[in-house]
Amino acid sequence: MYYLWLNEAQAGPYTLQQVQSMWGAGQITALTLYWQEGKADWQPLGDIISQIEPASADPLHQKTTVLPPYELAGARGPDVPYSPTVAPVAQAPSVPEQVHWTGHPTWWKWGWWLLPAVVLILAPVGLYYFFQLPLLVDLSPLPVALLIFLYVFFDRKVTRYAVTNKRVSIETGIFDRKSRELRIQDIRSIAADMNFLGYGNIEFSSAASDDAEVVFSAVARAAVVRDLVKKLQS
């Protein structure tokens, strides 16, 4: 499959037959940029001209490619003088960043917070049946339990993990937002610690540090996320 850079934006994917059809219709040229999975950067279609423009049986009717002046100078040969102003070489745009996965920690990360909150919710039942205390005393643990649940809910909501074709990143914090990221190409070590439920921690390290620089804590289906990052590295 081919992705094309058309009208200052990525288009596609296209099959080879579609690219050949667009070539024949004059919608793309040898300078049009393309990208395929596995390539490090965008390249001009002129690099694969033999694939998108099959040789014609009649060489007189082959489609010719119009070269820009600075390429035409090299095609003329050394005996033909050519001295224009230096033409700028167009820089190919980098591969657009694409998000492959986003997620939040599982509720198990806050298990030691949620357990006392559940106890505080059940406490009014025990206070009422065993001690016959006034209603306000019976319900007094509920506000504390509610505060714990709200804290866990918002802390989980604002903790965001992301994996793109360029980086792995984590954002944390309710009032004081913090973020850490590591480029895919810089990752040298991926360590995953999972339990029987399938969730666990994934640690990403680079050659510049012995410690993990980005850690996804309590990730559901941690093995799937780990394998995704490994695939993006290849």
For the chain, domain boundaries: 2-76, 100-233
- Distance between CA atoms of residues 38 and 233, nearest Å: 10
**What pLDDT is attached to residue 127?**
67
**What pLDDT is attached to residue 128?**
67
CATH, domain 100-233, list 2.30.29, 2.40.50, 3.30.70, 1.10.8: 2.30.29
Structure token digits, residue 74: 């090299």
**What pLDDT is attached to residue 117?**
86
Bridge partner list, 70: none
Is this model's pTM higher than 0.75 or not? no
Best CA proximity match to 143, nearest among 123, 128, 157, 126: 123
- How many CB atoms lie under 10 A from the CB of residue 105? 21
Q: What angle do CA 148, 151, 156 make, to 5 degrees?
A: 125
- Distance between CA atoms of residues 165 and 99, nearest Å: 7
- Longest pairwise C-alpha distance within the chain: 108
Give the H/E segment covering residue 146: helix 141-158
**What pLDDT is attached to residue 80?**
45
- How many CB atoms lie under 10 A from the CB of residue 57? 7
CATH, domain 2-76, list 3.30.1490.40, 3.30.56.10, 3.20.20.450, 3.40.50.10470: 3.30.1490.40
**What pLDDT is attached to residue 62?**
45
**What pLDDT is attached to residue 214?**
93
pLDDT in tens, the chain (234 residues): 778 877 767 777 788 888 888 877 777 777 788 877 777 777 787 777 777 775 543 444 444 445 455 444 444 444 544 444 444 444 545 668 888 999 999 998 888 888 988 888 877 776 667 766 666 666 777 888 899 999 999 989 999 999 999 999 999 887 788 899 999 999 999 999 988 888 899 999 988 777 889 999 999 989 999 999 999 888
**What pLDDT is attached to residue 141?**
79
* Beta-carbon contacts of residue 192 (< 8 Å; ≥ 6 apart): 200, 201, 202, 203, 222, 223, 226
Long-range CB contacts for residues 219-225, cutoff 8 Å, separation at least 24 = 219/103, 219/105, 219/106, 219/161, 220/103, 220/106, 222/192, 222/194, 222/198, 223/192, 223/194, 223/198, 225/101, 225/103, 225/161, 225/163
